[in-house]
């Protein structure tokens, strides 16, 4: 890098307070290389940070660069010029979960855009070379940034029983839910139920393969029963809660068959979830929580994208430059579209972005 010294950066300073400025480029640590960031997807966990300056039981301690869904180009070393997608999770590698192959529940991980680890909403960032995976030439930078959530969806699917010719439900049709709808169809599910509060997301779920799609909650319309969701009338063998709300979790528990499983993927606004315990107990269902992805899931996601069996481009509805990051987060908070993408550094990787 020639003007090596400075990067454009978007930092979260507090609830709703994203500021764009110039900072020295962070120096790579051992095993790290500099990456010119081409595209960053904003997701539900970024929205938690934006709205409440924290997520779960972790609060913002100092201004933080968000962004963990990212693609870019390696700027130095033997892989210079290679287009890559980043795995945002850097586990310790020595704790019991890591040694057991469950690094997604590492006891002391570093994760881009979480806690004190700055993420990808900057023109240039250092990241571990071993966590940067090459992407197919045919895959655009924006779609490559969505490989991480696709890996998360694959991990959630792996936590459920096989769905071949079975019935599955996805309760929450944001981008992650829509990826699950597509994966369930690919896995052979005969029935895929999808729900959301927002009509445009329900329409997207239907377009992506849901056989039954319902608007629920306050937006369900004047004729919808106030205390009953129509999604509960379609029994499923496995349910995926992807909205992070008690209402979606309750719908999932009501819809799943006795002895079935509910995979909880969504992150609640606070650090508590509530559900109808009596109904869950009478059905003797299994509640399975899902976190991030395990080693190999990102490689599987790349293979799926290469085979064109999952439509990533259809999820993207809004694009912003890094200077427009405050507006990008405002759009994310408004829930007007589906996936919001930020383009940090077209100048740094001129001629290489696709």
97 burial type by CB count under 10 A (0-12 exposed, 13-18 middle, 19+ buried): middle
Contact 30, 128 (CB under 8 A): no
Q: How far, in Å, are 86, 100, 114, 205, 354 from residue 110 at the CA level? A: 13, 18, 8, 33, 29
- pLDDT on residue 318: 97
Distance, in Å, from the CA atom of 85 to the CA atom of 232, rounded to the nearest integer, reads 38
Closest CA to 314 of 183, 178, 148: 178
Distance, in Å, from the CA atom of 115 to the CA atom of 307, rounded to the nearest integer, reads 35
Paired sense of beta strands 17-24 and 191-196, if any: unpaired
- pLDDT on residue 308: 87
CATH 3.40.50.720 region(s) of the chain?
160-289
Paired sense of beta strands 124-128 and 32-42, if any: antiparallel
Q: What is the pLDDT of residues 155-187, one digit of tens each?
A: 999 999 999 999 999 999 999 999 999 999 999
Q: What is the pLDDT of residues 37-93, one digit of tens each?
A: 999 999 999 999 999 999 888 999 999 999 999 999 999 999 999 999 999 999 999
Average pLDDT on 227-253 reads: 90
Which class does domain 6-149+293-343 fall in?
Answer: alpha beta
**Tokens coding 137:** 């030439």
Average pLDDT on 122-146 reads: 96
Q: Which helix (H) or strand (E) holds 327?
A: helix 325-334
Q: Which residues are within 8 A (CB) of 296 and not within 5 positions of it... i.e. 6 or more apart?
A: none
DSSP string, 35-84: EEEEEEEE-HHHHHHHHHSEETTEE--S-B----EEEEEE-SSTTTT-EE
Binning pLDDT at 50, 70 and 90, where does residue 346 land?
A: low
Q: Is the pLDDT of residue 337 over 70?
A: yes
Contact 159, 294 (CB under 8 A): no
- pLDDT on residue 5: 82
User: Which of the following CATH numbers is that of domain 160-289: 3.30.470.20, 3.40.50.720, 3.30.2040.10, 1.20.140.10?
Assistant: 3.40.50.720
Q: What is the mean pLDDT of the chain?
A: 92
């Amino acid at each position: 890098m020639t003007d090596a010294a400075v990067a454009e950066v978007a930092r979260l300073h507090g609830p709703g307070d994203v500021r764009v400025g110039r900072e020295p480029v962070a120096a790579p640590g051992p095993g790290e290389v500099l990456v010119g960031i081409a595209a960053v997807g904003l997701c539900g966990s970024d929205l938690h940070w934006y709205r409440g300056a924290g997520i779960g039981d972790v609060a913002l301690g100092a201004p933080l660069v968000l962004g963990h869904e990212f693609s870019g180009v390696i700027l130095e070393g033997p892989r210079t010029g290679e287009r890559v997608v980043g795995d945002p999770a850097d586990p310790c590698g020595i704790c019991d979960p890591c040694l057991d192959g469950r690094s997604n529940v590492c006891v002391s991980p570093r994760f881009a855009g979480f806690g004190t680890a700055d993420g990808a909403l900057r023109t240039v960032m250092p990241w571990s070379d071993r966590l940067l995976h090459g992407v197919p030439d045919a895959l655009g930078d924006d779609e490559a940034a969505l490989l991480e959530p696709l890996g998360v969806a694959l991990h959630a699917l792996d936590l459920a029983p096989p769905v071949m010719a079975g019935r599955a439900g996805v309760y929450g049709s944001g981008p992650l839910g829509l990826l699950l709808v597509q994966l369930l169809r690919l896995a052979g599910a005969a029935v895929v139920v999808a729900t959301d509060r927002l009509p445009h997301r329900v329409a997207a779920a239907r377009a992506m393969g849901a056989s039954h799609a319902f608007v629920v909650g306050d937006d369900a319309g004047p004729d919808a029963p106030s205390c009953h969701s129509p999604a509960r009338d379609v029994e499923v063998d496995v349910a995926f809660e992807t909205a992070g709300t008690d209402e979606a979790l309750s719908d999932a528990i009501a819809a799943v068959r006795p002895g079935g499983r509910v995979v909880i993927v969504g992150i609640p606004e606070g650090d508590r979830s509530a559900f109808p315990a009596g109904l869950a107990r009478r059905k003797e269902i299994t509640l399975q929580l899902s976190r991030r992805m395990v080693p190999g899931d990102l490689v599987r996601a790349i293979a799926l994208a290469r085979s064109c069996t999952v439509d990533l481009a259809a999820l993207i509805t809004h694009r912003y430059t890094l200077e427009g990051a405050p507006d990008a987060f405002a759009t994310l908070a408004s829930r007007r579209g589906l996936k919001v993408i930020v383009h940090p550094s077209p100048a740094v990787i001129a001629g290489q972005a696709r």
